[in-house]
Amino acid sequence: MHQFSGLPAHALAGPSIVTIGVFDGMHHGHQQFLQQLVAHAHAHEMLAVVVTFDPHPDSVVHPERPSGLLIPPAERIRLMAECGIDAVFSIAFNSDVQAMSAADFMQWVANATNITALWVGWDFALGRGREGTPERLAQVGTHMGFTVHTVARIHADTLAPSSSAIRQALQAGEITAVTHMLGRQFTYRGVVVKGDQRGRTIGFPTANLAIDSRILLPKYGVYACIATFNGQQYPAVTNIGQRPTFNGVEPRIEAHLLDVTLDMYDQVMDLALVAFIRPEQRFSGFAELVAQITADAATARTILLQ
């Protein structure tokens, strides 16, 4: 797959079918959409192209209410490649892009992609004031030489996948719903860094995961997780939050691997959320804390064995 930063002045070598969007989370609805686009494009000997944005447009349009990303941009593009996409153009979204009309933006896209068809979702809109609805884009396309194909919403049940619904479920601790909508477990990836090392003193050493600060955290609390390190999976019980017992302020992800002790400092670990166990709480002392962690570990072990 070819990856471009911005939209170059010279078009791709062959005709293409293009879609535009952030595709945050790359949930299974996104993946089905892109796989359909790829199949159609390749069947007609055309390139399958995604035009996406980094940063997320919401962070520019609504800076007062940051929503947080579901996955890092690099992971999003990797999953696009797995769907068979031939080229991804990543645009730096800023106030200038925000102010563009739908026609001006599509002319920019057309110059770079040799577009013959634009595929969009059922609720798609782009351009200044979201004036670029599928109907408006079809009008633009008649002048620029591309058609517009609108894909109906995939799944009509109450857990139809959408990035906003996944965010809401994640922040409510509804991990089963998150997993259903994503089509996979929600996973944090980061480098293991040194923390306060209190866990070691009470018999529960933790791996403290440093992640991209733009990634959305779930409801603060304790989770049953699967940690993946050096290609091996380990059951884990994880606290995500501010650690009120120790008057913490900055949120942390602290995973205790069950029944194993590993040296993971400065190395990458994946942490998949399996189930929410309980909300974060303040304890009166170490004895109460240790008793609760022991119970949480037992709960996590039971969940993960199932």
Intrachain domains 2-151 and 185-305 with the same fold: no
pLDDT at 165: 93
Tokens of 122: 């059922």
Q: So where are the chain's domains?
A: 2-151, 185-305
Non-local (6+) Cβ contacts of 133 within 8 A are 124, 125
The model's pTM is 0.89
Angle at 145 between CA 141 and CA 148, to 5 degrees: 40
CA dihedral 266, 267, 268, 273 (to 10 degrees): -80
Question: pLDDT 10s digit of each residue in the chain, 306 long?
Answer: 999 999 887 878 899 999 999 999 999 999 999 999 999 999 999 999 999 999 999 888 888 887 899 999 999 999 999 999 999 999 999 999 999 999 999 999 999 999 999 999 888 999 899 999 999 999 999 999 999 999 987 655 556 789 999 999 999 999 999 999 999 999 999 999 987 666 565 668 889 999 998 999 999 999 999 999 999 999 999 999 987 666 666 899 999 999 888 888 999 999 999 999 999 988 877 788 889 999 999 999 999 998
What confidence tens digit (pLDDT) does each residue in 212-243 have? 989 999 999 999 999 999 999 999 999 999 87
Protein fold of 185-305: Elongation Factor Tu (Ef-tu); domain 3 (2.40.30)
- Classify domain 2-151 by CATH number: 3.40.50.620
Q: Please tell me the distance from the alpha carbon of residue 80 to that of residue 70, in angstroms, as a whole number.
A: 15
Angle at 223 between CA 218 and CA 229, to 5 degrees: 100
